[in-house]
A and B are shown apart, each in its own frame.
Chain A
């Protein structure tokens, strides 16, 4: 399998029946991106959201690749600790949700500092989402997993899974940036309300992962759609 096939497989899954599975994380990423757009009222370009998308893609794809490669020791170790990691991810997502709700009262001055804070949050969010996500196995991803389980081809499998994860993150970012651009037309009076809703939305995801209720979300909400 070539890298472009893997990239397209990840990207196109967002716009296919596989979105049913991706619903585990996709609405929450969109909520995050919208939330950080609304965290301050300054008129500015969308560079901050683009940076967040890039940082998210890096975090998500790296962990996704490792978790997809049973032939690599790091992948097996991550998988062994997945329950603890999911709780940790829930706590991280919870802190990010608080940042969305209360972050507007913190004054982060300077473009560089803001870049570090928002980029760091997005990176952590990407790492966390890769941990909490239980992917449905698309035909392309199935082939990647077969490559990844053989110790002799595990590194190739990890590379392809990384590209596949990047493809997924790219589709998230594409849709997310469209949403962000549409916020230009949002009335000022609704901005803080929408930001708080986005923060609360992430808070719910955090609680579901900390308490183990995520399995019910998958079973009843996603099962309802299947």
Chain B
């Protein structure tokens, strides 16, 4: 094979490979209905967001390997305990992780709220999430109120206000 053909072969392979990748449009806009999705929960049942009125939601996207994902779990548990009776669902979604690793992570932390695994980060990408941890707040009307990128533990004084906003 002539060396000058290599770039063309590389381009051809590139085209084939990238053509196989799934494009997912970011649909999340603050103040608009939250992008709809349904995910099976790790312990059975399913998690549904449909942009319709219902319980408010605090959904955190995290990975087992990310240090600040680990740090934010105690605060999420506190929020769950404090606001569960007032109609706030705390949910966790695993991204950028193998499912088996994320399952172990969830089991190890003995979460009192449901968790699901986002295969291929499809849901995360509709919310414009490229890095863990990120927490989205959806109010009782199904409207996306806030997306917070980073460790919510660093914003502990604000997080309770954000939850009150979606009640």
Does chain A have a CB within 8 A of B128?
yes
Interface residue ranges of B131-163 to A (CB < 8 Å)? 131-134, 147-151, 154
User: In the complex, what distance in Å separates the CA atom of A194 from the CA atom of B101?
Assistant: 34
Binary interface encoding of chain A residues 77-115 relative to chain B, with 1 for a CB under 8 A from any of its CBs, else 0: 001111111111001000100000000000000000000
User: In the complex, what distance in Å separates the CA atom of A30 from the CA atom of B4?
Assistant: 29
Does chain B have a CB within 8 A of A141?
yes
| A contact residues, total (Cβ < 8 Å) | 39
Q: Is the interface of A mostly helix, strand, loop or mixed?
A: helix
List the count of A-B residue pairs having beta carbons below 8 Å apart: 113
Q: Report whether A20 and B67 are in contact in the complex, using a CB–CB cutoff of 8 Å.
A: yes
User: In the complex, what distance in Å separates the CA atom of A123 from the CA atom of B96?
Assistant: 26
Q: Report whether B131 and A135 are in contact in the complex, using a CB–CB cutoff of 8 Å.
A: yes
Does chain B have a CB within 8 A of A183?
no
Does chain A have a CB within 8 A of B1?
no
Q: Report whether A87 and B101 are in contact in the complex, using a CB–CB cutoff of 8 Å.
A: no
Q: Report whether B63 and A218 are in contact in the complex, using a CB–CB cutoff of 8 Å.
A: yes
Q: Report whether B151 and A142 are in contact in the complex, using a CB–CB cutoff of 8 Å.
A: yes
Q: Report whether A95 and B10 are in contact in the complex, using a CB–CB cutoff of 8 Å.
A: yes
Does chain B have a CB within 8 A of A116?
no
Q: With a CB–CB cut-off of 8 A, which chain A residues contact B87?
A: none
User: In the complex, what distance in Å separates the CA atom of A150 from the CA atom of B28?
Assistant: 12
Does chain A have a CB within 8 A of B37?
no
Chain B residues close to A by CB (< 8 Å): 10, 13-14, 17-26, 28, 30, 63-68, 70, 96-98, 101, 120, 125, 128, 130-134, 147-151, 154
